[in-house]
Chain A
Amino acid sequence: MRKNLNVIAAYSIMMGLIILVGIFQSWNIALSIFNLCLISAVMTMGANIQWGYAGLINFGIMGYTALGGLAAVLISVNPVQEAWSAGGTNILFSLFLIIGMILAVRYVLKKYEKSKMRTYIIATIIILGIIIIRFVSEPGIEAIEEVDPAKTGFLGGLGLPIIFSWIVGALFAGGLAFVIGKVALGLRADYLAIATLLISEIVIAIIKHEDWLTRGVKNVIGLKRPAPYEVNLQQTDWFINLVEKFNSSKLDLISDFAERQAALNQFVIEGSSVFVKLCYSGLFLIVVIILLILTQKALYSPWGRMMRAIRDNEEAANAMGKNVVKQHLLIFVLGSAIVGIAGAMLVTQDGLFTPGSYRPMRYTFLIWVMVIVGGSGNNFGAILGGFAVWFLWIEAAPIGLYLVNLTTAGLDDTHALKIHLIESVPYFRFLMMGVGLLLIMRYRPKGILPEKIEIK
């Protein structure tokens, strides 16, 4: 108990802060911060597995998040029949061609020794394949994108409940990580960082511009929900009764019936959105707890010890007969898959998929700040980092505004400097993140909750 005191203290402070937001701003804001904190926590757990357990640097988090989001679209949206009949065969045929191309390359790689000839053959297969695929797919893609472009213009998905996409998102992200890991894991740490960053940009470029699959920058809106809709809730009796009971003390103060009814309505509207957010919180909390149990178990298992050994001394671990390459690949896939879950969760909560919103600042570098600030190698630290940094990221604007008002209190309200500063309040969050990261790295390089390894 004693040794966990700092963990408990840190978490209680964090929850206290969120509750304070609930009391002073509104429960709606507090819950939406809390939900995104939970999603960030899942992301940081993924990044922490890679960086904290194995020392692998992965700046491609944005790409996996987006793939998870894509999974949510492909699973939950109803299939667009006309689009399938217009161009489905072409797309399926191209898919077969791609598989055939990969098999052909694999065959050449297996069959022939490494030589210049082999490289040329592979290059020819790939170039020819791409040209053929373009010829096959182009009419299909055009036909699909012409099907009611204002509403659909894409193939749609499978029409399943969106919850399934959390698993599929993990599979998508893991699959991508497998391919990237196969080719890029041999690189040195900083090269790996740059390579993964660039590959994630390529993933985003593809998602943005392949409209037949993702609708691209036209966005997919109105995704299914695992939680009830506010509008429906506001008309169900049990919910209204619940709200009435909950706010009875306030409602009893109002004597006039009409006024009381109006107040109740207001409470029901507010309550419905809080209730929906609570549903999401519950779902996300389940995911976070399951992942936390699994990652903790893994950390203290023989496998976790081996990962740390590989991280701390690759050569020695290799000499002990551990397959470093294989383990690196495994952990790269696992971590990315967790990030993929988070991506799907994010889209589930938002109910929309906007490829244009995936930017490296928000989805890669911010997650890294969370991991480093929280404490890499420590799952509780990583989750705390996700909570604390996200909280600051959101609350930075109000804090910034307060600080600006405080420092420029002597100035007139119409003073140009004051107006300029108030306009630029949103950017104080970058400043806060940067300064926070620099301070933590300098004075507490292991993070708020440092890695603690007990040998049992």
Chain B
Amino acid sequence: MDFVNAIILLLNYIFVPALAYGSQLALGAIFVTLIYGILRFANFATGDMMSFGTMFTILFTWYFQSIGISLGVLPTALLAIPFAIIFMIGYMLLIDKFVFKYYRVNKSPPVQLAMVSIGVMFVTQAVVRIIIGPSDRRFFDGEKFLIKAGEFKEMTGLNEGLAIKSTQVITIIVTLILVSTLFWFLNKTKTGKSMRAYSDNEDLALLSGIDPKKIVMITWVIAGILATIGGALYGLDKSFKPFTYFNNMLPIFAAAIVGGIGNPFGAFLGGYVIAFSEILLTYAYRKFFMYVLPESMEPGGLVQLLSTDYKFAVSFSILVIVLLYRPSGIFKGKVL
């Protein structure tokens, strides 16, 4: 029985949260990787673009709530996301037209584009803060838990409860659907294939009659969808705060590079690698060992590898190690 308790403990505190957090990172990482693979620059505005999309989700959610539309047990935000995506795509295409296009046409070095993306980061951050303000916003409504810890305990008669938030389940399901659609699109459709070709070898792709304008536009459209959904899911699960989103850029970059930048599948897995290592290394295993080990061997301390303060540092250390020993990432990133 103790053994089952120990497993439930790990599921509750490590596996489920890490899976949800990893999915949110994975969407961001695919976003980074797509931009990097096709438009060829490191987008430092990632976190702020995600917060921009989330902002629109929140605004639409408020609007729907004010006119009395809701999805019952599901959060209203799910209904708002498609509308937010439209605005987000519009914003992205606008930025591309007025900012990035010039440098792309002039074939500027990637570093210059990265600098430009810093300018975009400042502007986006300002717009978000001016419109919705810098404070913490919660926009979740509907049923909060799928399984409550207390109910679970009663049902199974175990000591440890397992709580699963509905946002966690929504996050994982939406991520899986979105990512599998994306991979189907990239691997099976003609447009997707031409995107991969463009990413692989630009000159050759142009030679075979692929329209670069269309490729770039579709990339921004997909990026807009990913950024909005990724941001909105993170906001639903935790809360929306522009500064947090800016900071999230860092683990997202870590995930994209760990997975091999330019490789969407790698980025997808990279998100989970980062999330799991963050949580595994900073979790205090004391209770786990209390269940597993006999009483005489119970540990005195918290049995924590690193204090939770270093949560971010973990992912960065992984990234630095990967960069040094395997710069192409764990999953051999090259191009799409």
Q: Which A residues are closer than 8 A to B by beta carbons?
A: 57, 183-184, 187-191, 193-195, 197-199, 201-202, 205-206, 208-209, 361, 365, 368-369, 372, 421, 423-424, 427-435, 437-438, 441-442, 445
Contacts and interface: CB of A to CB of B under 8 A. Distances in A.
Contacts, number: 117
A205 B324 contact: no
B123 interface: yes
Contact of B123 (A191, A361, A435): A435
A190 B110 contact: yes
Say what secondary structure dominates the interface of chain B: helix
Contact of B129 (A184, A209, A424, A438): A424
Nearest to B319: A198
A433 B102 CA distance: 20
Given A193-B42, A201-B313, A431 B127 contact: yes
B217 to A, nearest CB: 21
Given A365-B122, A368-B118, A441 B112 contact: yes
Contact of A372 (B115, B129, B320): B115
A190 B41 contact: yes
Say what secondary structure dominates the interface of chain A: helix
A205 B110 contact: no
B313 A202 contact: yes
Contacts of A423: 133
B206 to A, nearest CB: 23
Contacts of A424: 129-130, 133
B22 to A, nearest CB: 18
Contact of A191 (B99, B134, B327): B327
Interface stretch (B138-146, B189-197, B250-258): B250-258
Interface string B114-133: 11101111111111011001
Contact of B126 (A188, A194, A208, A434): A434
Given A190-B114, A191-B323, A198-B319, A427 B250 contact: no
A439 to B, nearest CB: 9
Interface string B90-128: 000000000100100000011110111011111111110
25 contacts: A187-B327, A189-B110, A190-B42, A190-B110, A191-B327, A194-B42, A195-B323, A198-B254, A201-B250, A201-B312, A202-B317, A205-B310, A205-B313, A206-B313, A209-B309, A368-B118, A427-B125, A430-B126, A432-B126, A433-B122, A434-B122, A437-B118, A437-B122, A438-B123, A445-B112
Contacts of B309: 205, 208-209
Interface string B300-314: 000000010110110
A191 B320 CA distance: 10
B246 interface: yes
Nearest to A365: B118
Given A194-B257, A438-B99, A438-B119, 18 more contacts: A188-B327, A190-B111, A195-B319, A201-B313, A202-B316, A205-B309, A205-B312, A421-B130, A427-B126, A427-B129, A428-B130, A430-B129, A434-B119, A434-B122, A435-B119, A437-B115, A438-B123, A442-B99
